[in-house]
Chains A and B, each alone.
Chain A
Amino acid sequence: MAHHASTEPTQLGEIPKPVTGWIWKTFFILVGITALEFVFVFFMDAGTLRNSIFIILTIFKAFYIVAEFMHLKHETKGLIWTIMIPMALLIWLLVALITEGSYVGEAIQNAFN
């Protein structure tokens, strides 16, 4: 009987109260940044500056999702670097190939000149 009682859920009435302040704070930051992006979509002309603003705001959003929702901020340093270093190399690849794309386009458009 004692053995039986130990496997039964015995928590009725003693479940701690939820602590959700930080979750909603992160949510409002994410919604705020998204709203700000739409302000830029409608009130700013397209261009390199606007695109840079979008990319910076995206990185902010990514930070809050990964650090808070995915809890990476509270993991060990080793795990943080294991994730961050490959991602940084991917950003390098992205920048390199976008630059390369402009050259490919130029080469194709001027192929018969």
Chain B
Amino acid sequence: MSTISTTQTYSPTSHEQPRSGTWDGGNEPFKASYGKLMMWFFLLSDAFTFAAFLTTYGLMRHRHLAFTGKPEDFTFSTAYWPIPDKVFNSFPGFHGVDLPLAFVALMTMILIFSSVTMVLAVEAGHRMDKADVQKWLLWTLLFGTTFVSCQAWEWSHFIGGTDAGTRMADGSIFHGANLVTNQYGPPLFADLFFFITGFHGTHVFSGLCLLTWAFIATTNGTFEKRGHYEMVEKIGLYWHFVDLVWVFVFTFFYLV
């Protein structure tokens, strides 16, 4: 009872409120809250990591020979870097049909769409619309999960390889890919595929964990009691960053 009376007699004015003065965190540099600012800096550091991956990809690709013939005559060989649309041309349920980049196009659409539903969740949070935040977070979770599942299928297909396989330098036929040998091109091609798309997939998975937590917290009314949905906004920043990275991975790994 005594503790309640002390909190009630304490009347906070602007200079008595904790962390509101100029020198104890009351000022917001760049007019962004501490959490959002730190999320931006984390994303910047994460961008360094992805840039290191993509820079390595560019360096290694140019360090290997390119295929110089006509695209129709292309065959897999460890002697030169493969043409991406000859490697990524399969689609679930269409065995043996040549559908260049169709599946990756679908994955790109799914991820862009999940970004839209995320932005809608943030927008609903600004309006303190709990039901809408829940709805759009669930949609984002659905699209994010679909994307990771698509990536799992793509990996298993890449690892399994084509029916024909490729005749290697020692005369044997090799199917699919691992970190040492692959049927598509130089060993580093598969290594970079696994590391770049794998690191991106890990980010999507982390995003899904954060979204699941945000959905539970929204449902429990945590953000509503707090008076703002800034946490959804911060998770949104992370989620858009993952989408942004995919845009670059898509261009540099699949298109160029």
Residues on A close to B: CB < 8 A?
7, 9, 11, 15-16, 18-20, 23-24, 26-27, 30-31, 34, 37-38, 41-42, 45-46, 51, 54-55, 57-58, 61-62, 65-66, 69-70, 75-76, 78-79, 82-83, 86-87, 90, 93-94, 97-102, 104-105, 108-109
Complex Cα distance A93/B55, Å? 8
What 6 A-B pairs are tightest by C-beta distance, nearest first?
A101-B62, A101-B59, A98-B58, A79-B30, A105-B63, A58-B251
B30 x A82 contact (CB < 8 A): yes
Cβ A62 vs Cβ B248 within 8 A = yes
Q: Which A residue's beta carbon lies closest to that of B28?
A: A76
Assess whether B241 is interfacial by the CB under 8 Å rule: yes
Task: Determine whether the beta carbon of A100 is less than 8 Å from that of B59.
Answer: yes
Q: Are B85 and A98 in contact (CB under 8 A)?
A: no
Contact mask for chain B residues 84-103; partner A; CB cutoff 8 A; 1 contact, 0 none: 01000000000000001100
Residues of B within 8 A of A99 (CB): 62
Looking at the assembled complex, report how far the CB atom of B222 sits from the nearest CB atom of chain A, in whole angstroms.
12
Give bound CA distance, A19 to B85, whole Å.
Answer: 40
- Least CB distance, B45 to chain A, in whole angstroms: 9
A23 touches B116 (CB 8 A): yes
Bound-state Cα–Cα, A87 to B3, Å? 52
What residues of chain B lie closer than 8 Å to A19, measured between beta carbons? 123
Identify which of A16, A26, A98, A109 gathers the most chain B CB atoms within 10 Å of its CB: A98
What are the residues of chain A within 8 A of B59 when measuring CB–CB? 97-98, 100-101, 104
Chain B residues in contact with chain A, CB under 8 A?
Answer: 29-32, 37, 40, 44, 47-48, 51, 54-56, 58-65, 71, 83, 85, 100-101, 105, 108-109, 112-113, 115-116, 118-120, 123-124, 127-130, 132, 221, 224-225, 236-237, 240-241, 243-244, 247-248, 250-251, 255-256
With both chains docked as a complex, state the minimum distance between the C-beta of A64 and any C-beta of chain B, in angstroms: 10
Interchain CB contact under 8 A, A7 and B225: yes
How far, in Å, is A84 (CB) from chain B's closest CB? 10
Selected A-B contacts with CB under 8 Å, 7 pairs = A34-B105, A46-B71, A62-B244, A62-B247, A70-B237, A97-B56, A101-B62
Q: How far is it, in angstroms, between the C-alpha of A52 and the C-alpha of B220 when the chains are bound?
A: 49
Tell me whether A38 and B256 are in contact (CB under 8 A).
no
Residues of A within 8 A of B65 (CB): 105, 109
Partner of A90, one of B51, B109, B127, B221: B51
- With most chain A CB atoms within 10 A of its CB, the pick from B115, B221, B247 is B247
With A11-B128, A65-B247: A41-B85 Cβ-Cβ less than 8 Å: yes
CB of A34 within 8 A of CB of B109, answer yes
